[in-house]
């Protein structure tokens, strides 16, 4: 689905499919450089990270293990509840390994702060974060992401894995959702 298919639901398109693919490829190049010769496992945060996880993994030219976690802090609303629950844990043992958490967006930072701490307690060599989007104005918890696609305003965005009530995830672009859709 393209932004043009749901144009009436969007205020504007922030990033096109082509811009997203170019930035993900740049991030992959940085990651390969920084993890040269290291045992890296990338951990996608379900469900939103499916798109960036797949595209990032395909952009890497070295072997990488992929694993997934599902955590919940949103419910069906538009704001984080701040309470994190693990719905699906890792299958891999990360002891002594370099872990790169891959997520589509850092909003409040509450979920990723909790997840970084949780994974860090499992004895990895390192835990870092890669995210396509970050909302600096929305941060409630200091969170350091090693790789960031773009900083964006504190607006409700959808597409490329980002959803509103499970809709818009399959949109190839990223756009700002019109308030009339969610208010």
Residue with tokens 């308030």: 179
Residue 8 has φ and ψ, to the nearest 5°, of -70, -20
Plot region of 168 (φ>0 → left; ψ -120 to 50 → alpha; else → beta) = left
**Residue 107 annotated as catalytic:** yes
3-state class (DSSP) for residue 65: strand
3-state class (DSSP) for residue 139: coil
What whole-number distance in Å separates Cα of residue 109 and Cα of residue 81? 12
Q: ∠ CA 53-38-26 to the nearest 5 degrees?
A: 45
The one-character DSSP state at 13 is E
The one-character DSSP state at 178 is P
Q: Of residues 107, 151, 163, 173, which has the active-site annotation? A: 107
What whole-number distance in Å separates Cα of residue 180 and Cα of residue 183? 5
Catalytic residues: 107
């Amino acid at each position: 689905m393209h932004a043009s298919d749901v144009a009436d639901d969007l205020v504007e398109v922030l990033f096109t499919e082509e811009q997203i693919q170019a930035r993900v490829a740049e991030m992959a190049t940085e990651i390969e450089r920084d993890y040269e010769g290291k045992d890296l496992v990338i951990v996608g945060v379900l469900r939103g990270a499916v798109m960036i996880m797949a595209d990032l993994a395909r952009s890497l030219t070295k072997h990488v293990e992929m694993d997934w976690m599902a955590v919940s802090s949103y419910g069906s609303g538009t704001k984080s509840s701040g309470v994190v629950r693990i719905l699906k844990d890792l299958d891999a043992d990360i002891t002594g390994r370099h872990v790169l958490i891959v997520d589509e967006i850092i909003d409040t930072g509450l979920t990723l702060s909790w997840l970084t701490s949780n994974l860090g307690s499992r004895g990895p060599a390192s835990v870092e974060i890669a995210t396509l989007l970050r909302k600096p104005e929305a941060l409630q918890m200091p969170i350091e992401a090693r790789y960031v696609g773009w900083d964006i305003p504190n607006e409700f965005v959808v597409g490329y894995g980002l959803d509103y009530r499970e809709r818009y995830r399959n949109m190839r672009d990223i756009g700002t959702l019109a308030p009339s859709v969610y208010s």
